[in-house]
Amino acid sequence: MLVRLSTSERICVVQQNGYQKRVSDIYRFISENLYFNRADLQIKGERYNSAILFSLLTALKKGKELIIGEPGLGKTTSAEFVSSLIYQFPLGVIWGSEVSGHPEQTEEKIIGRPDLGKLNEGEEAVVWTNFSQIPVKIVDEVNRLPETKQSMILDGVDRGNWEYLNEMIINDEYCLFATANYHDGGTNTMIPPLVDRFDVVVESRYPGPNLSFLIGKTKRKDQVLRHPRCEKALQGILKSKVAYEQKIPKMEQICNAFGDYVYETVGIKPLQRREREEIRAEMEGLELDLDASAFLRMVLAEFSFCDRFGQKRVVESCEEGCHYTGYLCHEIKNCASNRLPTSIKQYAQAVAWLLGDTEIDMEHVNLVIPYTLAHRVQWRDETIAQKERSQRDDPFPIFIAKESVRLVSQRYREQSDHVKDALAVASRIFEGESLETPEGDHPLYAEIRKDIDSRRN
């Protein structure tokens, strides 16, 4: 059971357990030794590389991350390094558990297959794949899976339930990394339900010629994350025919031994399962402050509102001359899913925790929203045509998401008091007071009115 701590208690815990420092050390170790790249985002004076930062947060938060980028720029390896250090799995086991996307991929290679020995004896048993069993799941080149086969991993990705024949295993703790190349002859479109299940998208970028040169020149340090004996022992447990639940404590034991080895070798202490759970409990205790909450509502309103049709729907196009033409709802085709606010809160919590803050504020939310939005929004063709040639450093989906968040943020700054007032009045109306429904121009006011009306009638 989680116990909510007061702010002072939380600060005390933060100082005592030092988890933030350990995670920051892991970040630094990866960025200085394993994955060379430039810092491309900044928050509260700290600079981070988005690919490593979001991968770390994904691993800690049990999230799902889509890593895009050109071939050979470290999409898979960045996820492997992070997973190895956060979950204490040697690289060999992670490599052996990866699923690669290709047209011939089958459910038997991804999830599990019948135990042929037992089948001969007339029994039905499933041999689960390493991918379905270990908490770190990496799908390489997910967009090479044909659209019809992408749905095979939907349920597992969403809930951690892996089903084959009539058996099922449930991952209590898991995170997912999927990599995707930009479109080429061998890639397929990712189906929207799968895309929406990813919490964040990041680009593993070219580090620049100088760092790239360094990658070729320096000795490979990823050897430190190899441990043949642990790898062999873990492989043995994974393929043993005991129940999945019994394998977990055995795996943990070996993972801890690997963690100790890493600590002795490089001075970085990977996180044990108990520690990861404690970190998650600390993160869960962080709440959005009023500004972050009101701002997030404004963002969600702009990405879902349609005055004429009640909400955005991908099959309905926006009318010209609508009063709300100046808002983002006019620039998009689809409606924000309910997974979006969850992803934003989860990652904003993680960022706030990492920075040692006691509340989630606008800066945390502002940082994560573009990465949670970029893959989920379908922009109108006119908007794409207008903006895709703009000068930028980010891939277009992340760039346009950042631009739109900047616009909403500007709108929020101009009317934050009024928005918070309106939400306060709405709260009191909801609780039975007879007040006038707040008025304003932003779509959020129309949504507040709808909520109030739906309760009144």
**Listed residue (265, 290, 447, 256) closest to 360, CA to CA:** 290
Instruction: Classify each residue of 391-424 as buried b or exposed e, where b means 16 or more C-beta atoms within 10 Å of its C-beta.
Output: eeebbebbbbbbebbeebbebbeebbebbbebbe
Identify which of residues 220 and 413 has a Cβ nearer to other proteins in the complex. 413
Identify which of residues 241 and 450 has a Cβ nearer to other proteins in the complex. 450
Evaluate the CA torsion angle 176, 86, 109, 128 in order and state its sign.
Answer: negative
What are the residues facing 51 on neighbouring strands?
none
CB of 60 to other proteins, least distance (A): 25
Identify which of residues 77 and 437 has a Cβ nearer to other proteins in the complex. 437
Identify which of residues 79 and 429 has a Cβ nearer to other proteins in the complex. 429
CB of 419 to other proteins, least distance (A): 9
Identify which of residues 224 and 407 has a Cβ nearer to other proteins in the complex. 407
Eight-state DSSP code of residue 379: B
Distance CA 114, CA 108 (A): 8
The interaxial angle of helices 339-354 and 362-373, nearest 10 deg, is: 130
**Listed residue (318, 333, 372, 325) closest to 350, CA to CA:** 372
CB of 75 to other proteins, least distance (A): 28
CB of 40 to other proteins, least distance (A): 18
Residues found near other proteins in the complex (CB under 8 A):
288, 290, 293-294, 390-391, 414-415, 417-418, 420-439, 448, 451-452, 455-456
Of the chain, the end-to-end C-alpha distance in Å amounts to: 39
Distance CA 133, CA 128 (A): 7
CB of 97 to other proteins, least distance (A): 40
Distance CA 400, CA 406 (A): 10
Identify which of residues 287 and 307 has a Cβ nearer to other proteins in the complex. 287
CB of 418 to other proteins, least distance (A): 5
Identify which of residues 133 and 304 has a Cβ nearer to other proteins in the complex. 304
Residue 2 CA, chain-centre distance (Å), reads: 23
Distance CA 379, CA 298 (A): 18
Identify which of residues 226 and 420 has a Cβ nearer to other proteins in the complex. 420
CB of 417 to other proteins, least distance (A): 5
Distance CA 27, CA 24 (A): 5
CB of 365 to other proteins, least distance (A): 14
Q: Give CA separation, 373 vs 177, 205, 206, 298, in Å.
A: 17, 19, 22, 14
Two structure tokens written together for 152:
């095979």
